[in-house]
Structure 1
C-alpha cells in the first residue's frame, strides 16, 4: 500500500522558473516561442502545462532540460533555478551531469527515443554506468529491478530484448524505467501518453503517480489533453502563443475557468456519458476565441428503418502469412480479422473501436479491398465487391472513400493542395479542365477553407486544415461511404471537435455513411449511431451507441469504458485497479483453425459474443 503524500508549498521548490523567454532564429530575426513564463514545482507535486500545438509547452520543457538546439535557439531572458543553480547559465558539461541524474525526461514517442541497436536493459543501465560508475553486471541487475518496478511482465526475459520487440505501452514503461534509474528529483513528461490506447494511457498515468509517491519527485507534465490534466495534475498552467493565460489549482480551473481560451479548451473535451439516452450524434459546443458559443451545425435526422443496408459485411476474414526458413514456407499467420459481420445503412455512422492491434484498421481496408480478404463477402450498394473486375472496382471506389489518420503523410508534399483535390476528378474524368478550378474552390469552401488556399503546399497548413483538405479530396468523388481511419486521433482537442462537427454537418447535408475507426471512446460516443467493439480481430459486442455506452455487456467493452479519463478533477480515480496485461498476440500456427463464435441478443439490435 502506497502512502499518499502531498506537496508542501512552504518547502523550497524543486524547480523555479522566473520570467523565461526562449527564442528561435527565423531568417535574421529572433522570434519568441516562450515569453515571460514563471512557475514553481515542489516535491510530490505535479504541475501540468497544457495547450495546443505551437503553444510553447514542449519548448518550455526543452529549455528546462537544456536540450534546445545549439544553433538557432537561445534562452534570451529569465532564470531556471534547480537545487540552487541557474540552469540557464550552466555550461553544457555541468548540465550533462545534472541531466539524467537529478532531473530526467520522458518523451512522447518512445520508439524514436530508444536506440534500436541496444537491448532495453543496456539502455536503462547506461545512465547508471555514466553517472554512478556502476559495473555492467550491476547496471543489468538494476535495469531488471527497474523493469519489474514499472510492472513489465516477465522482466527477466525482456531485459535482453530490443525495443522493436516491445509494444507501445511497454516501450513507454521502459522509458520511465530509464528516467527513474538515477532517482531524479524532477521528472519532465512531454506528452507521454498521447500516442497510446486508452487502457494503456490509464496504466501509464497511474504508474507515474505511484512512482512519484514512492520517490517524492516533482513532476512537470506536458499535454494537450484536459482529461489527462484532470487525472494527474495538482496545478495547471494553460499556454497559448507562448504565454501563460491561466494558472491555478486544477479544481479551480475546471470548475471556474477565467480565461476565454481555457473555456474553449474545456468545451471541446468530449465527456463520456454526456449523450445520455440520445440515439443521434451530437456536435461539440463551438466557442470562439472570446469564449462565446457559435450556433451548432446541423446533424442528420432520424435514420430510416426501411430498405437494404448500403454496406453488408459477412464473415470477413483477413490473415497475413509469416514465412521463414530456407524455402520461405508459411510458418504461421497473423489472424488480423476473423469472421467479422455487420451492416451499415445510408446516412449512418458505425464506429469500430478497440486498442491497437485489434484489427479495426485492417477491417476498414479489407472492406474497400485495399487489402484482399481470404474469406467473407462485402456487398456495397447491392453489388458484391469480390465479383468486380479491377476496372469495375476502380469505378466502384468512387462511391467509397477513405480518410487516413495522418493527413501530412497522405498528401504529396510537392503537390499543391488544389492539385491533390483535383487529381481524382481528372483520373476518373468527371470534370472538364475548364470547370476544375471552380469545383476545387467549391470543395474547399465546403470544408470551411478559403478557396485561395488551393495554391499552397501541405506544409503551409496546420494539422486540422490538412485533415479538412483530405476530407475535401474524399468528397470530390461524391461518395456514399467514407471510411475514417483514426481521422481525428492526432489532432488537438479543439481541432478534433471542429473536424467531428464538420463530419456531422457533411453527413446531414450529403447523406454520407461513415465507418468511423477509433480508439477514443468519448469521441465515438459523440459521432456514432452504432458501435462495434473489436478484440483480437473479432467483434465482441455490437449495438446502438446508447446501449453500448449505457449498458455494456462484454468484459472487454467495460474495460475500455472504465479506462476513459474524465475531465473532472473531483472524480479522479488514481487508486483504481488496472490490469497491466497486454492484448495477446494474434499470431497463430499455420494449421490453426479458429473456434466458431456464437452471439446472444442483449437487447434490440444489441449482440454480445458468448464465451468460447
Structure 2
C-alpha cells in the first residue's frame, strides 16, 4: 500500500439527497474519505447507513429523484461531479469498475460469459473477434475458473454462485481499472466461497496495484481484507481509521456495538447449551439479555421428530416423450431425531440439500422414500385435511421475510389469516390473539394496522415468527432465517428464538451456513454435503473435534473478526461442490458411519 502519493479517490464533504414528500432528505451527510494505490478501504454499516448510496454517488449512477447536493469526488485529479455523462460513461467499467452483491441479476442470462466479457473489451478497449475471445479466456484463467476454455461458451445459469461472482470480477478487471468498488460481493455466498473470493480480490489487487472500495456490513470480512475502515450510520460517518486500531480500541459507541454483536466462532467453548448473544445499549454499555439460559430438551421422552432414510429426488426429463434422462439427488438417505425443546442445526454450502430436507420434512416437497414422523405419527400415511392438521405442529420461517408477506395486506391480517382459515380463532377473538402474538415477539399491538414495507428487515422477521407461533407449533423449521439480517438485528432475532424456545419448549430445525451463529444457537449439529449427512453430533463435539474433512473445511473458512489474526494468504482453491445430477439408473452407494464420541457420528471417508 502506498500513501505518500496522491490518492486515487478523494471524496470531500459529499452530501447526497433524495426527494421525499417533505422536500430533499439527506442520505449521506458530509462524507470525506481517500483511497490510495493498492489500498482497501471498507465502508461498513448496517442497512440504511448510506454505504451503497456512497458508491452510486461516486459512479454518478443515482436513481431519478436523487442528487449530489454538494461536495467533490476527485478521481485521479478529475472532479467527477463536474463531468458530463459521456465522460462518466468512459470512466465507468473502464477506470472505475464495480462488482455487485448478486451476480445473477448483473449478468445477462441470454449471453454466454465469454460474450459478456468480450462486450466490455469491445466497448472500452476496442477489441473484437479473436483478440477479444483470447483476452476473455485469459481473464477467466486469471480469476481461477477451472476449464476456462470450455466454460467460456456457457451461460450464467450453468455456473455456481461463487463462479458467477468470479465472472463478474473478470468483467470488472477487463479494462485494468484503477479503482474497484465491491458492493457486498460476498454477502450471499457460503463461507468457503466467501473466503475464496476475498483472497482472489486481494491477490488481483496486488497484481494491478488498484485501490478497492469494499462495502459490507460484516465486520469479519472487514478484518479479513481492509487496511482502513469508515463506519457509517444513517448517512453519518461514526468513525474512520486504521482497521487494527478500530478493532483494538473503537472510540464511537456505535462501532463498539457493531463489533460487540459479531458472532465469534469458538465463543461457546465453555457452554453446554445454547446461549443468547450479549447485547449493548446505544452508549456502548453491555447489557445482560433477558433470555433465560434454560435447558429445555426433553431427553426422557420420545423424539418429537423422527426422520429415517429420507430421499428426495427431482426428475430431469427430455426428448420427444419427456422421458427421465437423469435425476437431481437433492436429499439422500438422511436420518436424525429431534426432541422437544432442542435445536438441531443443519449446515452446509448452497446446493447441499439443507432447504430441500426442511421442505421434505414438512411434505412441501414429496419425498421419494423414507419416513417422517411427528409425535409418532407418520406423515406418509396422511393426505388432504389430515396432513394439513398435522402441519399445525410444524411451521416454517423463511430467509426473506418481505417475500413471505403479502405487500397488500396489513401484518395483522397476515397473522390472522391462517388462524381464521384453520378455525383456531373466531372473528371476535382474532384481534386479541393477533395483538398477543405481536407482543410475544416484542412488537406493540398497534403495528398490526401497518403494511410490510413500513417495517425494517428485523421487524418483518419478528412478524413472520409471530405468524408461525399463531399455529401453536411444536416444531419450527427456520430456513436461513437470519442470514440476510444485519449483525445486531441477527443477534436480536436469535435471542428472541431462544427466549420462545425456553418459554414454549419449541423444537427448531435451524438451517444455516453461518457457523458462528450455529455454534451459539444449537444443541446438536448435522453437516450436509451433496444431499447426505457426513457428520452429526452434539454441538461441542462437532465444533471442538470435527472429524470429516468437509466439516473442517467449513470451520476453517469462517472469517475471524480480528485484523491481527488475518490468515496468511494462500493459493486460491477453485473446487466447486460436484453436481448432484445423476443418471436415471444411478444407485447411490451404501454409506457407513463410525462413532467418535457419544452420539457423534461421522461418515466413512
**TM-score (ref. length: structure 1):** 0.98
CA contact (8 A) 1:403 1:482 kept: yes
**Corresponding residue number in structure 1 for 2:20:** 26
User: Is it true that 1:470 corresponds to 2:461 in the alignment?
Assistant: no
**Corresponding residue number in structure 2 for 1:537:** 531
**Corresponding residue number in structure 1 for 2:144:** 151
- Secondary structure in 1 matching 2:402: coil
Q: CA deviation at 1:292?
A: 2.0
After TM superposition, list the pairs within 5 Å mapping 1:414-453 onto structure 2: 414-453=408-447
User: 1:337 & 1:97 partners in 2: Cα distance?
Assistant: 49
**Corresponding residue number in structure 1 for 2:178:** 185
Deviations 1:67-114 (A, max 9, x none): 112x31111100000111000111110111111111111011111111
User: 1:136 & 1:444 partners in 2: Cα distance?
Assistant: 61
4+ residue runs over 3 A deviation: none
After TM superposition, list the pairs within 5 Å mapping 1:115-514 onto structure 2: 115-296=108-289, 297-301=291-295, 303-514=297-508
Q: CA deviation at 1:66?
A: 1.4
Decide which of 6, 9, 16 is 1:12's aligned counterpart: 6
- Secondary structure in 2 matching 1:409: helix
CA contact (8 A) 2:200 2:572 kept: no
Name the stretch that deviates more: 275-284 or 367-376.
Answer: 275-284
User: 2:368 & 2:105 partners in 1: Cα distance?
Assistant: 34
- Secondary structure in 2 matching 1:593: coil
After TM superposition, list the pairs within 5 Å mapping 1:87-126 onto structure 2: 87-126=80-119
Q: CA deviation at 1:131?
A: 1.7
**Corresponding residue number in structure 2 for 1:84:** 77
Q: CA deviation at 1:574?
A: 4.4
Decide which of 588, 592, 600 is 1:594's aligned counterpart: 588
**TM-score (ref. length: structure 2):** 0.99
Deviations 1:473-532 (A, max 9, x none): 000011110000000011111111110000000000110000000011111001000000
User: 1:578 & 1:266 partners in 2: Cα distance?
Assistant: 28
Matched residues, number: 604
User: 1:28 & 1:474 partners in 2: Cα distance?
Assistant: 38
CA contact (8 A) 1:353 1:519 kept: yes
Deviations 1:168-190 (A, max 9, x none): 11110000000000111100000
- Secondary structure in 2 matching 1:408: helix
Name the stretch that deviates more: 288-297 or 237-246.
Answer: 288-297
Q: What's the Cα RMSD here? A: 1.0
**Corresponding residue number in structure 2 for 1:66:** 60
User: 2:16 & 2:130 partners in 1: Cα distance?
Assistant: 42
- Secondary structure in 2 matching 1:237: strand
User: 1:123 & 1:332 partners in 2: Cα distance?
Assistant: 30
User: 1:131 & 1:528 partners in 2: Cα distance?
Assistant: 51
CA contact (8 A) 1:299 1:507 kept: no
TM-aligned CA distance change 1:446 to 1:237, over 3 Å: same
**Structure 2 runs not aligned, ≥5 long:** none
**Corresponding residue number in structure 2 for 1:516:** 510
Q: CA deviation at 1:293?
A: 2.3
User: 2:581 & 2:89 partners in 1: Cα distance?
Assistant: 44
CA contact (8 A) 1:235 1:250 kept: yes
**Corresponding residue number in structure 2 for 1:4:** none
Deviations 1:531-565 (A, max 9, x none): 00000000000000000000000000000000001
User: 2:37 & 2:125 partners in 1: Cα distance?
Assistant: 23
User: 2:156 & 2:368 partners in 1: Cα distance?
Assistant: 32
CA contact (8 A) 2:294 2:502 kept: yes
**Structure 1 runs not aligned, ≥5 long:** 1-6
User: 1:541 & 1:577 partners in 2: Cα distance?
Assistant: 27
User: 2:110 & 2:568 partners in 1: Cα distance?
Assistant: 36
Name the stretch that deviates more: 600-609 or 282-291.
Answer: 282-291
Deviations 1:275-299 (A, max 9, x none): 0042201111111222122331213
User: 1:303 & 1:510 partners in 2: Cα distance?
Assistant: 11
Deviations 1:302-354 (A, max 9, x none): 63431211111000000000000000000000000000000001100000000
